[in-house]
Amino acid sequence: MEEMRDISRREELPGAATWREWMGLGALTLAVFMLATDMTVLFLAMPSIAADLTPGATQMLWMIHIGELLAVGFALTMGRLGDSIGRRRLLVIGISVYGLASLMAAFSTEAWMLIATRALLGVATATVMPSTMSLLRNMFFDPKQFSVAIAINLSAFSAGMALGPPMGGLLLDHFWWGAVFLINVPVAIGLLAVSPLLPEYRNKDSKRMDFVSVLLSSFALVALIFGLQEMANDGFNLFYGGSVVTGIAVGFLFIKRQMSTEDPLLDLHMFRIPVFRFSLIAVTVVLLVTTGADMLFAQHLQAVVGLTSTEAGLLLIIPAILSMAGTLIAPALTRWMRPAYAMGYGLLTAVGGALLIMLTVQDTGAIILIIGVSLIGFGVGPAMTIASEQIISSVPQERAGTASAMSDVSSGLGSVLSIAFIGSLGMLVYRWSLMGSIPAGVPPEIAHSAMENVGTAVAVSDRFPEMLPVIQSSFTVALQAIYGIAAIGLFVLMIIIVWKLRYVRQDDKASSKQETSF
């Protein structure tokens, strides 16, 4: 109760953050870093896991995807739950479950056991991410400090994604595969030890959660993302297509219920706020046009440029560092110009990077390509940071957890849609280009195998060396097409953001005239 009164006083008289808030930010940053590294090291550990647990092909896919599937599927529910029971309390619960699930995953002896613990990790992630972002709203009341805090928090995610592979490689070189999970346990214990530094916030006017809405939202997101993920892996079939259609249909039922219930799980009035609405669009579109492109780019470095996986991984640290730099300069940019213009300049830089790759990929080496990807990372850094900040700060305090969860949902959907559609489109262009270029004398079954994916195609070229040039040329055409789409998407987004949000200032509050609907 005393903490609630303290928060109320600070909301009335906002001031500079103290050492307590900055130490708390360090703890939240460490939590985000832990989650980000966990997303990347699993791919490195899969060969060792497969050798030890001997999972089937379907089980391997579930090991990889179930965590992300449930993290996005339960994000909205957990964001709302944090607003109701307390954001710090939910974070403590989430970190505790995450540490316990990591311990169980490290010592899994069966494939089903690892799948179950990965599912538990996904649900725990859904509790941690919305709580982490929304708690910053309770800790940094000064707009400039809040902007810095958001930038630091998001840069930790970029750092985790970049450092996850080398950290995972180091662990796998010296320990068994369970070490990539076990390392999370001391981190979780440390986070729980410093959690008293964090403030608590709970919406005392919140009513009991509508569990029908919880079921509808979770089922809709899980069904939609499951269908999209599996189509990206295995191609279209009726079951996966039906899952997507079912998810969309249940999503409409969820929205209809939110319009009629007294205390909705998702307050649709938030979407009437231009800053909130277009910031969500920005997050979704950026990830939509870049995630699939990044996946194909990593393959291009190995299959076409000829780098080893280690060399490609080390080179990709450079754009990750530039992305962190772009994230961290966002607060400085918004002190000099309005947020929409800062986002616009960042997106324009990213457009330049995409065009550089598109125009030079046919006849250039790794260095120019890395410069192009680095420009994209550096440019989208401010855009993503400012958009994330505005998503949380544009809504009333009692909806910050839900707003943060919507940011996570948008990110997840953007990434999944990118892999499902942009990645699939790239492979479609690759197959179309390869189909008309296969040298005479190559057996049909070999040609068909080369069209499955570029990794298989390169393996085929060991037996038929004449295939390698056409495989590389076809994949280069595909990469050109994808980065051309990325350039167009980012440019259109830049125009929309600058036009629609040009009047918004950095210190605009949720109590402004933009949100009279509340």
Write out the chain's pLDDT in tens, 518 residues: 434 444 444 444 456 767 788 888 888 888 888 888 876 677 667 777 877 888 876 677 777 778 877 887 788 788 777 777 788 888 889 899 999 999 998 898 888 888 899 889 988 888 887 778 778 877 887 777 888 888 888 888 878 777 777 777 777 778 888 888 888 888 888 888 888 878 777 766 666 777 788 888 888 888 887 887 777 666 677 888 888 899 899 989 988 888 887 777 777 888 888 898 899 999 999 998 988 888 788 878 877 887 776 777 778 888 888 988 888 898 888 888 888 999 999 999 999 999 999 999 887 778 899 999 999 999 998 999 899 888 888 877 767 777 777 887 888 788 878 877 887 788 788 888 877 777 766 667 666 766 666 666 666 666 767 777 877 888 888 899 999 999 999 999 999 999 988 887 766 544 343 433 33
Find all residues with CB under 8 Å of 437, minimum gap 6, and list them: 470, 473, 474
What percent of the chain is predicted at pLDDT more than 70? 86
Query: What's the pLDDT at 345?
Result: 93
Which two three-digit tokens encode residue 451? 């069209």
CA torsion angle 461 465 467 470 (round to 10):
110
Q: Give how far the C-alpha of residue 251 lies from the chain's centroid of Cα atoms, to the nearest Å.
A: 21
> Do 376 and 325 contact (CB within 8 A), yes or no?
no
Assign a CATH topology to domain 266-505: Growth Hormone; Chain: A; (1.20.1250)
Residue-wise pLDDT for 164-178, tens only, equals 777 777 777 788 888
Q: What's the rounded Cα separation, in Å, for the pair 97 and 93?
A: 6
Specify the pTM.
0.80
Instruction: Locate the domains of the chain by residue range.
Output: 13-209, 210-264, 266-505
> Angle at Cα 62 formed by Cα 59 and Cα 68, nearest 5°?
165
Please state the φ and ψ torsions of residue 318, each to the nearest 5 degrees.
-60, -55
Cβ neighbours for 372, distance < 8 A, ≥ 6 positions apart: 353, 354, 356, 357, 360, 483
The span from the CA of 479 to the CA of 303, in Å, is 12
| Domain 13-209 -> CATH class | mainly alpha
**pLDDT tens digits, 416-467:** 788 778 877 887 888 888 777 777 666 676 667 666 666 666 666 667 677 7
Q: Give the three-state DSSP class for 503.
A: coil
